[in-house]
Amino acid sequence: MKRTRSRKGAPGIVEVASRARVSPATVSRFFTNPDIVKGATRKRIEQAAADLGYIRDRMAGAMHHGFSGTIGLIVPTIDNAIFAELISAFANRLLEHDRTMLIAAHGYDLELEIGIVRSLLERRIDGVAVIGLQHAAAPLEMLATRNVPVLATWNYREDSKISCVGADNFQAGYEVAQYLLDHGHRDIALVFPPTKGNDRAEDRLLGALDALQKDLSDIPPDRLLEALYDIGGAKKAVAALLSGNRPTALICGNDVIAQGAVYACQLLGLRIPDDISIIGIGDFRGSAHMEPGLTTCRLPARRIGEQAADLLCRGGIPPASAKPLRNQVPSNIVVRNSVNRI
């Protein structure tokens, strides 16, 4: 099983060193902390490294200080608008910090997380960001044992067990519901993804219900719909709902579902917002430009991603044993054209 294809062509630090007529140690110092080598020497090393096309081997370095310069990101899914902006922002910000991102998806199956965490740990990640606050104990323990900082993103709770940066999803749910109430809606249906293992969706739903139950009697069960986490599924579910006696407004657990709902309406020839109002949560890419523009609760994904990256890179995350760090980013309703006053 000998691989013929080897890293043979690659010059190492010692080649650079001998070409620059210094010791390997100095070359190493030059790369980690250029200021401590004298100007003249620095020039020579720079030149030698350039001539040879030297590329650092961070793995070898990581053997010592234990830091690989790699940060993990575990998301439920990549193939979806939901986390795209977060992932993107996170990755770009990591790059600015001279880190790289190891990413993996578990498809909303929290049990898979353990395998992923293990795989990341084997690669010596310096830290890991996850989505949401709800996770199996095992992976968290594994990370804690090895003192790898973990940061939950996307959702914020003031009583979170682990450090988090995100928006208060309960409040987001509350706000959209309140918004509809404020606009005179009284017959409101909710379309949400399965909340099992998904604290974001759960919190939103709870928030919405909380607001609604203040003004309304209990929500009849047929006004609470479960839709799978994609446009097609939501479209079908909503189409079914709307064929019957229909509510005046829809709260969608996220913008992807809202998009499906909008399509369902168009399919049925219902005008939005005249015949029915729709509000989403998330403000994903595309929500602004669809027709009609989707009124939704904006969760600042970019900001969350960037903050998460900064925190993880700067090492500002307290160990698992200490009080978690909790950063809340604000969410806010952005009103467009999918909700009517009645």
- Scanning residues 17 to 46, which ones bind a second copy (CB under 8 A)? none
Minimal distance, residue 120 CB to DNA, in Å = 15
Minimal distance, residue 33 CB to DNA, in Å = 8
The yes or no reply on residue 104 touching a second copy (CB under 8 A) is yes
Residue 266 makes CB contacts below 8 A (sequence gap 6+) with none
Given 136, 219, 224, 288, the residue binding a second copy (CB under 8 A)? 288
Minimal distance, residue 11 CB to DNA, in Å = 7
Nearest to 256 by CA among 192, 205, 208: 192
Site for a second copy in 136-195 (CB under 8 A): 142, 145-147, 149
Minimal distance, residue 60 CB to DNA, in Å = 3
Given 47, 51, 57, 100, the residue binding DNA (CB under 7 A)? 57
The yes or no reply on residue 55 touching a second copy (CB under 8 A) is yes
Given 134, 254, 259, 331, the residue binding a second copy (CB under 8 A)? 259
The yes or no reply on residue 97 touching a second copy (CB under 8 A) is no
Given 4, 5, 9, 40, the residue binding DNA (CB under 7 A)? 40
Q: Is residue 133 within 8 Å of 160, Cβ to Cβ? A: yes
The yes or no reply on residue 9 touching a second copy (CB under 8 A) is yes
**Under rule CB under 7 A, how many of the chain's residues touch DNA?**
29
Q: Which is nearer to a second copy, 139 or 207 (CB)?
A: 139
Segment interacting with DNA, rule: CB under 7 A, options 23-31, 127-135, 254-262, 321-329: 23-31
Given 18, 23, 100, 243, the residue binding a second copy (CB under 8 A)? 100
118 binding partner (options DNA, a second copy, none; Cβ < 5 to 8 Å by kind): a second copy
The yes or no reply on residue 85 touching a second copy (CB under 8 A) is yes
Question: Would you tell me how many other CB atoms lie within 10 Å of the CB of residue 95?
Answer: 12
Radius of gyration of the chain (CA): 25
Minimal distance, residue 206 CB to DNA, in Å = 44
Q: What SS3 string covers the chain?
A: CCCCCCCCCCCCHHHHHHHHCCCHHHHHHHHHCHHHCCHHHHHHHHHHHHHHCCCCCHHHHHHHHCCCCEEEEEECCCCCHHHHHHHHHHHHHHHHCCCEEEEEECCCCCCHHHHHHHHHHHCCCCEEEEECCCCCHHHHHHHHHCCCCEEEEEECCCCCCCCEEEECHHHHHHHHHHHHHHCCCCCEEEEECCCCCCHHHHHHHHHHHHHHHHHCCCCCHHHEEECCCCHHHHHHHHHHHHHCCCCCEEEECCHHHHHHHHHHHHHHCCCCCCCCEEEEEECCCCCCCCCCCCEEEECCHHHHHHHHHHHHHHCCCCCCCCCCCEEECCCEEECCCCCCCC
Given 12, 28, 46, 92, the residue binding a second copy (CB under 8 A)? 92
The yes or no reply on residue 5 touching DNA (CB under 7 A) is no
Site for DNA in 213-272 (CB under 7 A): none
Q: How many Å apart are CA 86 and CA 340, to the nearest integer?
A: 30
The yes or no reply on residue 56 touching a second copy (CB under 8 A) is yes
The yes or no reply on residue 250 touching a second copy (CB under 8 A) is no
Site for a second copy in 186-225 (CB under 8 A): none
Pairing status of strand 277-282 against strand 295-298: parallel
Q: How many Å apart are CA 297 and CA 191, to the nearest integer?
A: 15
Site for DNA in 63-92 (CB under 7 A): 63-65
The yes or no reply on residue 183 touching DNA (CB under 7 A) is no
Binding site for DNA (CB under 7 A): 2, 7, 10, 12-14, 21-26, 28-29, 31-32, 36-38, 40-41, 54, 56-57, 60-61, 63-65
